[in-house]
């Protein structure tokens, strides 16, 4: 592909990061945008110089003229939009990159994967936390064997940052931290240690102003033999605030690896210690403290385009993300029933 044209559906809080990131990828152009809110649609179109604007996604797909669609809506709209993408071009379909959480349930997720698979097009889930450069450095260091074979890990995200002011809908759902944030942290654990055989989870709500849980702790038994602890909190009060950093602690047969606050990666192995500064750059359109996540948006979208050009499956393909989504469902089931859940049940 010499020139790749895309369309974006959903012009809300986070989508502007995606539009900025698309602008930075050579050979890619977003030629159409869609949002039911006409004011938001107009403001976004003017800000990014996009003339084709739609309030009706079906009409946008009918008029076509793009190779992929970036679905940046809330989860309830994902299945109908992915299925529209599969029907586009008289059934030829278009490539899809879809925000997380990918689906409200496993049935919808499987249906979306099947719909795009039938067209032969690529489906990728925008699971960007594993693409944060600091987390990526830890993943590559571990995969490179720096601390031998891992046997224990902790993946932690604890903060008191007010995420509700920019995304008020997060306070309204019966599910919150596992579905919105924990899905990212669980995916990092999968990227580090492989797929999971069993999970046990507990949840609680500290903030009385929200409906869902804002604290969750999960114990994962991986098929590789690794045990990992995944813990998430939006009720943690501490100074300095570490939002939006994910912290890691990994024990291996040949040493230890830590990703500490301040983007400090420490590898202790073979009697020595190496400390690396893995702080992400602040891109021209980014701002602290979001720059970590904003850079990961650029990196994952570059990966998506590289996969389209090379004809290979993305690392966070729809099929791969079924396993992360199953972990979310298993965690909620475990917390509700007070038991360990085998992933085979799902």
pLDDT tens for the chain, residues 1 to 346: 579 999 999 999 899 999 999 999 999 999 999 999 999 999 999 999 999 999 999 999 999 999 999 999 999 999 999 999 999 999 999 999 999 999 999 999 999 999 999 999 999 999 999 999 999 999 999 999 999 999 999 999 999 999 998 889 899 999 999 999 999 999 999 999 999 999 999 999 999 999 999 999 999 999 999 999 999 999 999 999 999 999 999 999 999 999 999 999 999 998 999 999 999 999 999 999 999 999 999 999 999 999 999 999 999 999 999 999 999 999 999 999 999 999 999 8
CA angle 236, 74, 234 (to 5 degrees): 0
Give domain 129-283+323-345's CATH architecture.
2-Layer Sandwich (3.30)
The CA distance from 45 to 309, in Å, is 27
Whether the bond into 240 is cis, omega within 30 of 0: yes
Strands lying side by side in the sheet with 215-222? 272-277, 264-269, 255-260, 247-252, 150-158, 227-233, 215-222, 196-204, 341-342
Whether the bond into 139 is cis, omega within 30 of 0: no
Half-sphere exposure at residue 88, Cβ-oriented, CA atoms within 13 angstroms: 28
- Cα R_g (the chain), whole angstroms: 20
**Where exactly are the structural domains of the chain?**
4-121, 129-283+323-345
Contact (CB, 8 A) for 183 and 157? no
pLDDT for 252 equals 98
CA angle 110, 112, 115 (to 5 degrees): 110
Q: Which fold has domain 4-121?
A: Rossmann fold (3.40.50)
Q: How many CB atoms lie within 10 A of CB 2?
A: 5
The CA distance from 340 to 346, in Å, is 13
């Amino acid at each position: 592909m010499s020139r790749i044209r895309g369309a974006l559906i959903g012009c809300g809080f986070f989508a502007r990061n995606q539009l900025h990131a698309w602008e930075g990828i050579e050979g890619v152009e977003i030629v159409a945008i869609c949002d039911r809110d006409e004011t938001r649609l107009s403001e976004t179109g003017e800000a990014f110089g996009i003339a084709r604007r739609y309030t009706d996604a079906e009409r946008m797909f009918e008029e076509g003229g793009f190779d992929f669609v970036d679905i940046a809506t809330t989860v309830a709209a994902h299945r109908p939009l992915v299925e529209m993408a599969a029907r586009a071009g008289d059934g030829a379909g278009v490539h899809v990159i879809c925000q997380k959480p990918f689906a409200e349930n496993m049935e919808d997720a499987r249906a979306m994967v099947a719909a795009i698979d039938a067209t032969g097009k690529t489906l990728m889930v925008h699971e960007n936390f594993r693409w944060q450069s600091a987390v990526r450095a830890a993943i590559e260091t571990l995969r490179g064997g720096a601390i031998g074979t891992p046997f224990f890990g902790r993946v932690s995200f604890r903060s008191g940052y007010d995420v509700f002011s920019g995304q008020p809908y997060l306070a309204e759902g019966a599910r919150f931290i596992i579905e919105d944030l924990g899905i990212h942290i669980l995916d990092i654990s999968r990227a580090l240690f492989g797929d999971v055989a069993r999970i046990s989870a507990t949840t609680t709500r500290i903030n009385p102003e929200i409906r869902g849980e804002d604290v969750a702790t999960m114990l994962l038994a991986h098929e590789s033999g690794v045990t990992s602890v995944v813990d998430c909190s939006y009720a943690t009060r501490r100074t300095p605030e570490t939002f939006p950093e994910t912290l890691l602690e990994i024990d291996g047969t040949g040493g230890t690896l830590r990703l500490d606050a301040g983007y400090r990666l420490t590898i202790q192995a073979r009697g020595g210690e190496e400390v690396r500064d893995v702080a992400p750059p602040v891109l021209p359109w980014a701002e602290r403290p979001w720059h970590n996540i904003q850079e990961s948006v650029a990196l994952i979208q570059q990966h998506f385009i590289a996969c389209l050009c090379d004809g290979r499956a993305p690392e966070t393909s729809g099929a791969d993300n079924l396993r992360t989504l199953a972990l979310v469902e298993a965690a909620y089931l475990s917390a509700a029933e007070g038991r360990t859940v085998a992933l085979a049940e799902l």
